[in-house]
């Protein structure tokens, strides 16, 4: 498999992650980079400047690429690539219009933005959980009048830590209630400690829109495909509280769950250990071998120690124990810009490519 890809929002935090992840990707090759008019016409090195936040240097291959204007050069970009990854900081309706414009130019869009997450015929895929939602692309193409073009989105990064742990328990035990408190890294706001000094020695108990997304988006992921739409699930009942904490990368969640039929601790641990999804079965290049990694140690998972397990694509879980208000409580961790953003989008693109949606 061989695809030419464009990165829209290449100078941003998520865009930079795409660049490092795709540097040596076996199927996807970076053909071009795009950002706002402020960056257009500059080399990538000039455009990203001091904002480069990755621990490895800017890859040689992209250093001198001249950055395109994602809006003004849209038609040219769409012609030059097989699909685009999109992670931009723009107004919601501008993002919606931009992504639809690319799709209508027959250029599939794999998006990290939230703008289309609520669109009923746009699949929001966590490849291990709901790969079958890709089938809604057929209906979306009919609506857009396209043969190839479509939009597929990634979910919000906060729920990426706890939804994977809850999902494999749902069918057998019936999950009724979930309470999740998240402790979210500053890279989730596109920041570093240099650009966000107020967070040092601090906790901010508010992240705009995050709690609503954390409560709503899992219901789409657990939804069903019916008449060309994803119909959201109506349960479990989810409540979330999301805090920003002084951590560079890695969102942690404290999770409480109640079941219809309460499982034993051993049953939960066995299911987590054995859980495999489509990426593992199809051996996709970015798939972690062990999706859910359980730690027996009381003080794990920790963001600093565990966020990079299996290239930041595994979800770590620990501290499973009974609770006196819910049935169980546990802690989860996922890398927010890898599994939670660029890595999750690359894995979704690999799934869609393997299933033939990029042909
Ligand atoms: N960070 C995370 O962990 C995370 C996780 C999941 C989802 N997301 C989502 O991903 C998106 C990007 O987040 P980020 O953290 O990477 O943001 P960021 O670091 O602020 O980067 C924003 C990017 O958008 C570009 N941009 C801004 N205005 C534009 C315009 N008018 N036209 C084209 N490009 C424009 C910027 O280009 P210039 O440099 O030219 O301004 C830059 O490349 C957001 O929708 C965010 O919600 C982020």
Question: Is residue 178 within 8 Å of residue 241, measured between CB atoms?
Answer: no
For 322, other C-beta atoms within 10 Å of its C-beta total: 11
Q: Encode 136-164: b = buried (16+ Cβ within 10 Å), e = exposed.
A: bbebbbeebebeebbbbbbbbbbbbbbbb
DSSP characters over 14-52: HHHHHHHHHTT-SSEEEEEEEE-TTTTTSBHHHHHGGG-
With vertex at residue 115, the alpha carbon angle to CA 133 and CA 5, rounded to the nearest 5 degrees, is 70
Q: How far apart are CA 172 and CA 270, in angstroms?
A: 13
What's the Cα-to-Cα distance from 49 to each of 12, 43, 57, 135, 160, rounded to whole Å? 11, 10, 12, 41, 30
pLDDT for residue 190: 87
The segments of the chain whose pLDDT lies below 50 read none
What distance in angstroms lies between residue 238's CA and the mean position of ligand 1's atoms?
28
Q: Is the CB of 130 under 6 A from ligand 1?
A: no
Report residue 262 as tokens: 């309460």
Residue identifier of the C-alpha nearest atom 32 of ligand 1: 36
Question: Is residue 319 within 8 Å of residue 329, measured between CB atoms?
Answer: yes
Q: Which of 81, 12, 3 is nearest to 47 (CA)?
A: 12
Residue intervals in the chain for CATH 3.40.50.720: 3-156+342-354
What distance in angstroms lies between residue 169's CA and the mean position of ligand 1's atoms?
34
Residue identifier of the C-alpha nearest atom 41 of ligand 1: 36
Question: Is residue 205 within 8 Å of residue 145, measured between CB atoms?
Answer: no
Tens-digit pLDDT profile for residues 9-52: 999 989 999 999 999 999 999 999 999 999 999 999 999 999 99
**Active-site residue set:** 157, 251
Secondary structure (3-state) at 338: helix
Q: Please state the pTM of the whole predicted model.
A: 0.97
Q: How far apart are CA 347 and CA 22, in angstroms?
A: 11
Report residue 113 as tokens: 């933005």
Residue identifier of the C-alpha nearest atom 5 of ligand 1: 341
Q: Is the CB of 340 under 6 A from ligand 1?
A: yes
Q: How far apart are CA 290 and CA 86, in angstroms?
A: 27
Report residue 274 as tokens: 């054995």
Q: Which of 314, 306, 316 is nearest to 339 (CA)?
A: 314
Nearest-atom number in ligand 1 for the CA of 67 is 40
Q: How far apart are CA 144 and CA 128, in angstroms?
A: 27
Q: Could you say which of 3.40.50.10860, 3.30.360.10, 3.40.190.10, 1.10.3720.10 is the CATH number of the domain covering 159-335?
A: 3.30.360.10
What's the Cα-to-Cα distance from 104 to each of 101, 151, 273, 286, rounded to whole Å? 5, 10, 42, 28
Q: Is the CB of 15 under 6 A from ligand 1?
A: yes
Tens-digit pLDDT profile for residues 209-241: 999 999 999 999 999 999 999 999 999 999 999
Q: Domain spanning 3-156+342-354 has what CATH number?
A: 3.40.50.720
Residue intervals in the chain for CATH 3.30.360.10: 159-335
Tens-digit pLDDT profile for residues 270-288: 999 999 999 999 999 999 9
């Amino acid at each position: 498999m061989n695809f030419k890809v464009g990165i829209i929002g290449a100078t941003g935090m998520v865009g930079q992650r795409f660049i490092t992840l795709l540097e040596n990707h076996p199927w996807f090759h970076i053909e071009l980079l795009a950002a706002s008019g402020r960056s257009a016409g500059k080399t990538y090195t000039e455009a990203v400047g001091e904002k480069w936040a990755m621990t490895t240097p800017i890859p040689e291959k992209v250093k001198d690429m001249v950055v395109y204007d994602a809006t003004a050069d849209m038609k040219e970009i769409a012609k030059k690539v097989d699909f685009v990854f999109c992670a931009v900081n723009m107004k919601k309706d501008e993002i919606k219009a931009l992504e639809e414009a690319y799709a209508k130019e027959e250029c599939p869009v794999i998006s990290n933005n939230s703008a289309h997450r609520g669109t009923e015929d746009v699949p929001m895929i966590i490849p291990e959980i709901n790969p079958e939602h890709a089938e809604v692309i057929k209906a979306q193409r009919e609506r857009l009048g396209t043969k190839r073009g479509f939009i597929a989105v990634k979910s919000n990064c906060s729920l990426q830590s706890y939804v994977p742990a809850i999902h494999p328990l749902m069918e057998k035990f019936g999950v009724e209630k979930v309470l999740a408190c998240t402790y979210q890294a500053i890279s989730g706001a596109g920041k570093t400690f240099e650009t966000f000094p107020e967070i040092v020695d601090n906790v901010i108990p508010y992240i705009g829109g995050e709690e609503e997304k954390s409560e709503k988006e899992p219901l789409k992921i657990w939804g069903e495909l019916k008449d060309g739409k994803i119909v959201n699930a109506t349960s479990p009942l989810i409540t979330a509280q999301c805090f920003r904490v002084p951590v560079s990368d890695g969102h942690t969640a404290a999770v409480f769950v109640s079941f219809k039929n309460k499982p034993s601790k051993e049953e939960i641990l066995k299911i987590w250990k054995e859980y495999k999804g489509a990426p593992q079965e199809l051996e996709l290049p970015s798939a972690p071998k062990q999706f859910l990694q359980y730690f027996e140690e009381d003080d794990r998972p920790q963001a600093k120690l565990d966020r990079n397990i299996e290239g930041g694509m595994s979800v770590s879980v620990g501290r499973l124990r009974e609770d006196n208000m819910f049935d169980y409580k546990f802690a989860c961790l996922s890398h927010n810009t890898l599994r939670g953003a660029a890595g999750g989008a690359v894995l979704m693109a690999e799934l869609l490519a393997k299933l033939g949606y990029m042909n």
